Amino acid sequence: MLNSKIDKATGFEKRFENIGTVVYENSTSGSKAVAKEIADLIRVKQSQKQPCILGLATGSSPKGLYSELVRLHKEEGLSFKNVISFNLDEYYPMQPDSVNSYVRFMNELLFNHVDILPENCHVPDGTLSKEEIANYCTAYEAKIEALGGIDLQILGIGGNGHIGFNESGSLQNSKTRLVALDHITRVAASSDFLGLNNTPRTAITLGVKVIMEAQRVILMAWGEGKSNIIKQSVEGQVTNLVPASFLQEHGNVTFVLDKEASSKLTRVNTPWLVEKIEWTDKLIRKAVLGLAQHLKKPILMLTDADYIENGMSDLLADSGPAYDINIKIFNRLQNTITGWPGGKPNADDSKRPERAEPSKKRVLIFSPHPDDDVISMGGTFKRLQEQGHDVHIGYQTSGNIAVSDAEALRFAAFVCDYNDKFGIKNVEAENIFKKALDFLHNKKGSEIDIPEVRHIKGLIRKGEAQAASHFIGLDDTHIHFMELPFYETGAIEKMPLGDEDIKITMDLIDKIKPHQIYAAGDLADPHGTHKVCLDAIFRAVKELKPKKYMDDCWVWLYRGAWQEWGVDEIEMAVPMSPDQVLDKRHGIFKHQSQKDGVVFLGTDSREFWQRAEDRNKETAEVYHQLGLAHYAAMEAFVRWHF
């Protein structure tokens, strides 16, 4: 059984955490630990000749869990014949064979791969008439109750704290029912349905009451995007505004997190408030910069009293007085700022983030989608090119699913009109257009595009990426379209990272032999494209490490349109003038298909150029508030050591 890490002797963590939490290095190890507990429970029940009643969840969080359970079945003989499962929820209305059906999700990820009896698999029925739902929900709960209740309930957590589809406002005694989905929930799911307009407004969900009656509950959360709601659920008050907080009143619950999801917990984010710690350079920087931001003071204005009154007297005793600590941290932050991201030639580089030599570097920028480069580091990209470095860009995926159907039709029609205007007879082009037109006019919600439509969408994004790279100053020999196979499913759900993905990545690195690699370090979603693309780079770099040229290769991580590095993490900050901010905006504008109603905006209604601009300005403002020079904007990077 998983155990919480609350120290009952000191009570340190219990002051903050009201739910037992276990933090793993990553989602893979966390998922394996949960799978082991489930397997142990199944086997105990088998030895007692009893059924094992599992409450199961869907979404991205349990994917690794189900993969490990399938492995345990196939490789270690774990039988599911005594398992009876009840899923938390289902969209309504929803046909079981729909690509977004939770029936299909469970079949494809678990049920079809183990020996569970079909009659023992229960998923709420999304095909009922509304008049039938109330009685159906009562019967669903009655089945669970007749079996003695759920032995182990698996949960994920929504961005607003929902468990199942028990949204904000749900009561602790709520029963299984049809619910209206919160706008935040619908926006989060909209990418699966290719737009908010196609996303269901209602769902059937197991009630909070049944969840709370389970003998054991495990909630899994992965990624930085879940860190804020995890902190509210674990450390905040019990409130129906955050339904996951109800679990504080359950007697046998554990939150299983990866490092990123746990990052806002007090014991992780500010451990000096929890227990006596060893003050490393990294923790000192984090604490001092956090204190300055909390008090809204420049670093050099912090006093001994500020340290003492905010739980940092140990640091003051070890390394004080405050002025000595302040000046050290101020200088370190000052040294992250550089207008020479490729290194400044013929300069003392002992306090600069990048090496001076070689003065002309080979640079390889990896972009997961065809616009992440200019959105995330467009200013740095342009500066590297202008300062004479040999800059290459590797677009890792086609990004075709982010192009709207209307945009695809517009471009296909343009080809036909172009041919007609200039008297070019091209029957094949006309046939492709007619085929695409017929498909898109009859396309069902979330139906996977036919190859012709996917190719059109991919060509649109390829052309935009070329236009942006040309704007930066690159020629076509320095623009590389990798089209990693894992991405090319035509659906939101991608294939696992494969050997061919790694080989393509290695081949490009080996061809260029870069002194610098830039890669997207977004880790908000452990199953997202950015994370998979980053894993491909990490694995490729490690494979290539024995090669001599890799001794001179540094890897810098940028972040995308969704988040930014914390100021305590930043190792290189590249400032931008107002004119450079406008240049970056114009580069982003080359990606016309991603403006004005883009498919995957997420919960943020701003367009990507607005998010990037605001984020870069906010980074510059943070530096200024801490007492450093005031720039119009800044792009931030963290170095990855391999």
Tens digit of pLDDT for each residue in 58-107? 998 999 999 999 999 999 999 999 999 999 999 999 999 888 899 999 99
Percentage above 90 pLDDT, the chain? 79
Q: What is the pTM of this model?
A: 0.85
Q: How far apart are CA 548 and CA 551, in angstroms?
A: 6
- The two tokens of residue 340 are 């020479």
- Output the pLDDT for position 606: 79
Tens digits of residue pLDDT in 360-419: 999 999 999 999 999 999 999 999 999 999 999 999 999 998 888 889 989 888 988 998
Point out the catalytic residue in the list 167, 354, 407, 635: 167
Kindly report whether the peptide bond that precedes residue 370 is cis, defined as omega within 30 degrees of 0. no
Closest CA to 601 of 100, 159, 157, 190: 190
Mean pLDDT of 494-508: 92
**Local structure of residue 337 (DSSP, 8 states):** B
Place of tokens 């290189």: 572
* SS3 assignment, position 268: helix
- Output the pLDDT for position 597: 58
| Catalytic site includes residue 167 | yes
Inter-helix orientation angle 372-386/451-472, to 10°: 30
Mean pLDDT of 432-437: 87
Residue 602 has pLDDT above 90, yes or no: no
Phi, psi of 351, rounded to the nearest 5 degrees: -120, 15
Pairing of strands 633-640, 554-558: antiparallel
Helices marked H in 554-607: 578-589
| Identity at 394, one-letter amino acid code | G
- Output the pLDDT for position 270: 94
Residue 1 has pLDDT above 50, yes or no: no
| Identity at 80, one-letter amino acid code | F
Q: How far apart are CA 252 and CA 249, in angstroms?
A: 9
Residue 279 has pLDDT above 50, yes or no: yes
